[in-house]
Amino acid sequence: MNHQCTHRPMGRLDPITGLPNRMEFMASYRPKPGAQLVMLTLSDPKQFDELLRAIGHEHAEDFMRAGAVRLTEVMAPAIDIYHISILSFAFIMPFGAMPDLLHRINDQFNKPLTCGRIPVTADIALGVADCQDADAAFVLRAGLAAARDCRDTGRDWARYNRKTDTAHQRGFLLLTHLTSAIKADDQLYLHFQPKYDMASGEPTSAEALLRWRHPVFGNVPPAEFAPLAEATAHIHPLTEWVLHHAISQAGAWAAKGLRLNTAINVSPRNLARRGFAVQVAKLLNCYGVEPSRIELEFTEGVLVSNDPVVLEELRALRATGIRIALDDFGTGFANFSYITHLPADIIKIDKSFIQKITTDPRAAMVVRSLIDLAHELDYSVVAEGIESEKAYAMLKSWNCDEGQGFYMSPPIDPTALALKLNQAPALA
């Protein structure tokens, strides 16, 4: 393939493509002003995994070989191409000639590669990283991070960006630290934010919101770490922790005679696991909590998969008397038709709509119509993110059933909440 490869020791050639490999790159790399590394990834790893399953290892190797040939054909013969890892190739050249070349590479890879007579179109991503002050290991990692950005943003190519890279690295660290946080007893804790009946102003329930006091990063917001956990199997022990602590708190409130439901956020992934409803029932039993005292909040992601297990688990949960709420309603809208047959009781309109109702008449119209629509379909409606008396009054006049927001109370610790609810007069 690349004639220069033959002069290299065998251990430094990739056995599939015959190109110099990562070890050779590390040995020959020198930082150079003006030089740039281009990293090309042939496919998203998940898609490649599917390809492997569909056509087998042998043809998948053809895919890599064909990718290497295609790339070598576009490049000037004097440029060394390295096969860095299964799906990634790298080369170095000055930036001047680059934008044109990167477009040419994209063009060439629009034509399918042939894998044992099967045409497969590679979904390539191109990342560019500066070689001036970077050592070999860093420049490879930076190239890969840029290629990931390229894939995430759908652009033709992306330059290394320290900010997104730092965010990715922090995300990775948070994920690796989550397991020990779940086991430690001083890092995770719950705050509770009350919801109120809009008509009477009486508190109806309290939503458990997870907090993480990280020993190095300090307070990490759930909007940062919950989605990371949701993308991996970490979500299962994390949700178990939340269920355990929130239901135990619900039991303690019931024992004190506080008439308050407890709402718990659960990831769509939890529902895709058979036995979730049984797990919840066991915890309720263990803490002596009536199922009718529990609301489980899920996001629309639940419905995207159309997974029969998800629907079965939702129905099993509802059959026990637990109420199901669809959280952040209005932010997904992958397919609106699902709301006609959703196994849920409550729709929580996302705060991004509610926050605008006092200033944007069109947002107000949307929320008012959503409330009517949800009522027609027999859902109860909760507005989240109520930040002013005016917003509260508007939602009340539109017959919104329940409301939650900083105007009434931010999330607070359970002792403060019990105190607040015992002392405070009804809102209305």
Binding site for ligand C2E (CB under 6 A): 193, 208-210, 221-223, 226, 242, 265-267, 297, 327-328, 351, 384-387, 404-406, 411
How many of the other CB atoms lie within 10 Å of CB of 326?
Answer: 26
Q: Which is nearer to ligand C2E, 5 or 346 (CB)?
A: 346
Using the contact rule CB under 5 A, the part of the chain among 123-131, 232-240, 315-323, 324-332 near Mg ion is: 324-332
Using the contact rule CB under 5 A, the part of the chain among 7-15, 154-162, 309-317, 323-331 near Mg ion is: 323-331
Q: Which is nearer to Mg ion, 142 or 296 (CB)?
A: 296
Answer yes or no: are the C-beta atoms of 113 and 63 closer than 8 Å. yes
Answer yes or no: are the C-beta atoms of 68 and 105 closer than 8 Å. no
Which residues are within 8 A (CB) of 149 and not within 5 positions of it... i.e. 6 or more apart? 127, 158, 161, 164
What does 387 bind: Mg ion, ligand C2E, none (CB cut-off 5 to 8 Å by kind)?
ligand C2E
Q: Which is nearer to Mg ion, 19 or 317 (CB)?
A: 317
The b/e string for 186-212 (b: 16+ C-beta within 10 A; e otherwise) is ebbebbbbbbbbbeebebbbbbbbbeb
Q: Examine residue 14 and tell whether it contacts Mg ion (CB under 5 A).
A: no
| Strand 88-94 relative to strand 35-41, pairing | antiparallel
Which residues sit opposite 91 in a β-bridge? 38
The minimum distance between CB 280 and ligand C2E, in angstroms, equals 14
The minimum distance between CB 225 and ligand C2E, in angstroms, equals 9
Which residues sit opposite 263 in a β-bridge? 207, 295
The minimum distance between CB 348 and Mg ion, in angstroms, equals 6
Q: Examine residue 300 and tell whether it contacts Mg ion (CB under 5 A).
A: no
Q: Examine residue 327 and tell whether it contacts Mg ion (CB under 5 A).
A: yes
Q: From CA 115, how far away is CA 51, in angstroms rounded? A: 11
Q: Examine residue 295 and tell whether it contacts Mg ion (CB under 5 A).
A: no
What does 406 bind: ligand C2E, Mg ion, none (CB cut-off 5 to 8 Å by kind)?
ligand C2E
Q: Which is nearer to ligand C2E, 384 or 401 (CB)?
A: 384
The minimum distance between CB 296 and ligand C2E, in angstroms, equals 10
The minimum distance between CB 208 and ligand C2E, in angstroms, equals 6
What does 222 bind: Mg ion, ligand C2E, none (CB cut-off 5 to 8 Å by kind)?
ligand C2E
Residue ranges in 228-267 that form contacts with Mg ion under rule CB under 5 A: 265
The minimum distance between CB 149 and ligand C2E, in angstroms, equals 24
Answer yes or no: are the C-beta atoms of 413 and 208 closer than 8 Å. no
The string of DSSP codes covering 366-387 is HHHHHHHHHHHTT-EEEEE---
| Binding characters for Mg ion, 353-392, by CB under 5 A (x = yes) | ----------------------------------------
The minimum distance between CB 381 and ligand C2E, in angstroms, equals 15
Which residues sit opposite 191 in a β-bridge? 209
| Strand 203-214 relative to strand 188-197, pairing | antiparallel
What does 411 bind: Mg ion, ligand C2E, none (CB cut-off 5 to 8 Å by kind)?
ligand C2E
Q: Return the structure tokens found at 67.
A: 């990718």
Burial degree of 109 (CB within 10 A; 0-12, 13-18, 19+)? buried
What does 242 bind: Mg ion, ligand C2E, none (CB cut-off 5 to 8 Å by kind)?
ligand C2E
Residue 117 falls in which region: left (phi positive, over 0), alpha (psi -120 to 50) or beta: left
Select from 62, 165, 295, 297 the one that contacts Mg ion (CB under 5 A).
297
Q: Which is nearer to ligand C2E, 122 or 208 (CB)?
A: 208
What does 405 bind: Mg ion, ligand C2E, none (CB cut-off 5 to 8 Å by kind)?
ligand C2E
The minimum distance between CB 319 and ligand C2E, in angstroms, equals 23
Q: Which is nearer to ligand C2E, 108 or 388 (CB)?
A: 388
The minimum distance between CB 152 and Mg ion, in angstroms, equals 24
C-alpha triplet 155, 62, 98: angle, nearest 5°: 35
92: three-class secondary structure by DSSP: strand
147: three-class secondary structure by DSSP: helix
Q: Which is nearer to Mg ion, 41 or 204 (CB)?
A: 204
Answer yes or no: are the C-beta atoms of 41 and 109 closer than 8 Å. no
Q: Return the structure tokens found at 157.
A: 């190519």
Tallying the residues shown for the chain, one arrives at 428
Residue 278 falls in which region: left (phi positive, over 0), alpha (psi -120 to 50) or beta: alpha
What does 204 bind: ligand C2E, Mg ion, none (CB cut-off 5 to 8 Å by kind)?
none
Q: Examine residue 328 and tell whether it contacts Mg ion (CB under 5 A).
A: yes
Q: From CA 132, how far away is CA 124, in angstroms rounded? A: 25
**Binding residues vs Mg ion (CB under 5 A):** 265, 297, 327-328
